[in-house]
Amino acid sequence: MNGIIIENIVANAQISEDINIQDLVEKIPELIYNPDDFKGATFKLDYPKTAVLILPSGKVICTGATKMEDIEQSIRRLTEKIANVGINVDTNPSIETQNIVASTDIKKELDLSFISKNLLLKNVNYEPDQFPGLIYNMDDIGVIVLVFSSGKIISTGAKSMEDASKAIEMMKEKLSSFGIL
């Protein structure tokens, strides 16, 4: 993906109509459960390095992955573990990507004031007193791009790898059109 790094993927799946979290935690003691802080339980994996949140609604949310294969593997390992203790769950649920965070570093200092004035777009917000980066909302693909003076560019909100990459490439093209790249 042309110097673009996937930093985090968040995805969810419905594995059951509902789950009794207390019962689940009693049967699978390695789950993290603190009902005063969070009504669900957390399943942490060392490899792939992810966390899967298990909600009473039967929904699971996986975060921390950098590849979709890691999301799939993490959810599969959790559902198999739950099924193995006698709780009925879908061990092959449909997984929906919610957010992909990607980044690149153009290794060049950027004048964000100049860029924000020259982008001339209603979807650009640069308020350095509130946030150190320029925020560019790409409504057409539902992605937000953050540009920092250090040259780091981050896309967030993408639902696909293609959109995450496309957003960063589009921003690089805009910077190039100003003679910055």
Of 54, 67, 69, give the one whose Cα is nearest residue 12: 54
State how far Cα 177 lies from the chain centre.
Answer: 29
Say whether pLDDT at 171 is over 80: yes
What's the pLDDT tens digit per position in 94-146? 999 999 999 999 999 999 998 888 876 678 999 999 999 999 999 889 999 99
Backbone angles phi, psi at 44, to 5 degrees: -105, 135
Q: Which residues pair with 14 in a beta bridge?
A: 59
- pLDDT > 90: what percent of the chain? 86
For residues 122 and 175, which has the higher predicted lDDT (pLDDT)?
Answer: 175
Tokens standing for 9? 């993927």
Sorted by where each starts, the structural domains of the chain and their CATH numbers stand as 9-97 (3.30.310.10), 106-177 (3.30.310.10)
Model-level pTM?
0.90
pLDDT band at 156, cuts 50/70/90? very high
Backbone angles phi, psi at 154, to 5 degrees: -125, 135
**Cα dist from 162 to 2, 5, 6, 61, 146, whole Å:** 12, 12, 11, 21, 17
- Mean pLDDT value of segment 29-52: 96
Determine the Cα–Cα distance for residues 125 and 146; give it in Å rounded to an integer: 10
Determine the Cα–Cα distance for residues 152 and 154; give it in Å rounded to an integer: 7
Backbone angles phi, psi at 94, to 5 degrees: -75, 130
What's the pLDDT tens digit per position in 51-86? 999 999 999 999 999 999 999 999 999 999 999 999
Mean pLDDT for the chain overall:
94
| Letter string b/e over residues 67-81, b meaning 16 or more CB atoms within 10 A of that residue's CB | ebebbbbbbeebbeb
pLDDT at 123: 86
Report whether 153 contacts 108 (CB < 8 A): no
Max Cα–Cα distance, the chain, nearest Å: 62
pLDDT at 121: 67
pLDDT band at 178, cuts 50/70/90? confident
